[in-house]
């Protein structure tokens, strides 16, 4: 007599990380909401230094939930920070490492059902600066004073707080992840040219102010029986996984004049130089995405929004051309090219720019009784600026500045359990 055991696990389950045990597939949910770190990159040469490239990084957040047999929830935030590369290599300050929260129900991992990380408690959030050169120099500075928190749980409730306060806490016992971060101050890249034939002083090449009281947020939430939310599923349905993300960017300025040149600028009146060649002011955006089934009622299509007050400006030769940040038409730039006497020397500064409008992606476009794959993305307006300085015909700075505030995203995937 021979005894043989046969075990079978059906095909079609989406992920072994949430379906580790041999058993029929269950409804599968995966959702991600994120604000990627934005970036202003400065690259080129500054005479008297070994400067090569420098980067300003804005803060970022991410939250995700995945569920089938098991539940997983993860969140993270990344501080704003700076990075500089010169002949000695790369140096960084502040936000070069993300802080993460994570929870799951897998008995094999030993993870808890709730996890939290915060600035100043579980991780250090401090600013700093990096620099190269002496009389001529480039200094990149990241702000201190950032506040951030990330909460992840597989069973949201009074003891398992999610999302971070003061947003309304979830109490339905379902998976949830929420992350947020508030920029603490100004990110800046400053060039000083005091070692040239004509000392020119300091020029702010790029800066990003804090959007005070408006943190970046990412939120992923499993909803099964609820009268609120994007989906509001009814009893007996698989329910939904909802993603929401919002971002606020403080004023972005690129292309400031050196202090000793600025003092000689002759313009007056309403069409005067406002201090910078290119600017983005009052930019905010957000996106939502829900996946799942609503018991016969529609699950909404993904949404995207860019705040109506956001404006992009670029020099037009006399003043500035304003374009709405939500416009599909990029703002036009006119070359800035002027020569001034500074002492007995002639200083010429030339700036040129090309810009790009915001890019919005949404799929699908309509509500449906079941949403299986949903994406909503926004990439803000950007620019590439050249910045060149000559003293008595000799090049003392030749730089390219690229503004890329990066992508905000809400996306999700849902698969119903296979029928026999």
Q: What is the pLDDT of residues 139-187, one digit of tens each?
A: 999 999 899 999 999 999 999 999 999 999 999 999 999 999 999 999 9
The answer to whether position 187 is within a domain reads yes
The answer to whether position 10 is within a domain reads no
Nearest to 263 by CA among 341, 336, 209, 327: 341
Q: How many CA atoms lie within 13 A of 303 on its CB side?
A: 15
The answer to whether position 37 is within a domain reads yes
The residue among 99 and 394 whose pLDDT is bigger is 394
The answer to whether position 204 is within a domain reads yes
pLDDT greater than 60 at residue 46: yes
- Amino acid 262: pLDDT: 79
Q: What is the mean pLDDT of residues 330-358?
A: 94
Q: Alpha carbon of 216 to those of 60, 174, 179, 309, 418: distances in Å?
A: 7, 23, 8, 18, 38
pLDDT greater than 70 at residue 8: no
Q: How far apart are CA 388 and CA 350, in angstroms?
A: 5
Q: How far apart are CA 37 and CA 384, in angstroms?
A: 18
Confidence of residue 304 (pLDDT cuts 50, 70, 90): very high
pLDDT greater than 80 at residue 93: yes
Residue 295 is given by DSSP the state T
The answer to whether position 13 is within a domain reads no
Question: What is the Rg, in whole angstroms, of the alpha carbon atoms belonging to the chain?
Answer: 26
pTM of the model: 0.92
Confidence of residue 407 (pLDDT cuts 50, 70, 90): very high
Contacts for 1 with CB less than 8 Å, ≥ 6 apart = none
Confidence of residue 227 (pLDDT cuts 50, 70, 90): low
Strand partners, 321: 314
Angle at 188 between CA 249 and CA 47, to 5 degrees: 140
Spacing of C-alpha 347 from chain mean position:
38
Hey, what are 280's tokens? 């983005």
- Amino acid 207: pLDDT: 98
pLDDT greater than 70 at residue 381: yes
The answer to whether position 9 is within a domain reads no
For residue 100, cis peptide bond before it (omega within 30 degrees of 0): no
The answer to whether position 239 is within a domain reads yes
Number of domains forming the structure of the chain: 1
Nearest to 242 by CA among 264, 223, 263, 215: 223
The answer to whether position 312 is within a domain reads yes
Domain enclosing residue 235, as ranges: 28-415
């Amino acid at each position: 007599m021979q005894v043989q055991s046969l075990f079978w696990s059906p095909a079609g389950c989406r992920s072994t990380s949430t379906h580790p045990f041999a058993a029929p597939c269950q409804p599968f949910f995966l959702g991600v909401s994120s604000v990627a770190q934005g970036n202003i990159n400065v690259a080129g040469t500054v005479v008297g230094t070994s400067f090569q490239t420098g980067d300003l990084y804005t803060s970022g957040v991410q939250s995700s939930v995945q569920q089938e047999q098991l539940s997983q929830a993860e969140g993270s935030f990344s501080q704003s920070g700076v990075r500089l590369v010169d002949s000695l290599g790369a140096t960084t300050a502040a936000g070069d490492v993300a802080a993460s929260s994570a929870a799951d129900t897998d008995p094999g991992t030993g993870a808890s059902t709730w996890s939290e990380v915060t600035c100043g408690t579980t991780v250090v959030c401090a600013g700093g600066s990096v620099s190269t050169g002496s009389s001529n120099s480039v200094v990149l500075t990241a702000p201190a004073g950032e506040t951030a928190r990330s909460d992840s749980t597989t069973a949201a409730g009074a003891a398992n707080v999610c999302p971070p306060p003061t947003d309304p806490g979830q109490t339905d016992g379902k998976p949830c992840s929420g992350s947020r971060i508030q920029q603490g101050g100004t990110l800046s890249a400053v060039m000083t040219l005091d070692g040239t034939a004509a000392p020119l002083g300091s020029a702010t090449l790029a800066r990003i102010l804090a959007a005070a009281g408006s943190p970046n947020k990412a939120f992923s939430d499993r909803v099964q029986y609820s009268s609120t939310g994007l989906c509001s599923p009814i009893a007996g349905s698989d329910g939904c996984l909802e993603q929401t993300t919002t971002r606020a960017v403080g004023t972005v300025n690129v292309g400031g004049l050196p202090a000793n040149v600025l003092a000689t600028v002759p313009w007056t009146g309403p069409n005067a130089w406002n201090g910078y060649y290119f600017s983005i002011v009052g930019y905010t955006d957000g996106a939502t995405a829900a996946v799942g089934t609503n018991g016969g009622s529609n699950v909404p299509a993904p949404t995207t929004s860019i705040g109506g007050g956001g404006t992009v400006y670029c020099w037009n030769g006399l003043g500035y051309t304003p374009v709405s940040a939500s416009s599909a038409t990029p703002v036009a730039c006119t070359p800035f090219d002027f020569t001034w006497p500074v002492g007995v020397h002639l200083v010429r500064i030339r700036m040129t720019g090309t810009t790009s409008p915001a890019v919005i992606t949404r799929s699908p476009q309509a509500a449906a009784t079941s949403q299986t794959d949903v994406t909503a993305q926004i990439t803000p307006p950007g620019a590439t600026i050249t910045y060149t300085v000559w003293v008595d015909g000799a090049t003392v700075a030749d730089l390219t500045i690229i503004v890329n505030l990066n992508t905000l995203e809400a996306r999700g995937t849902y698969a119903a359990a296979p029928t026999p």
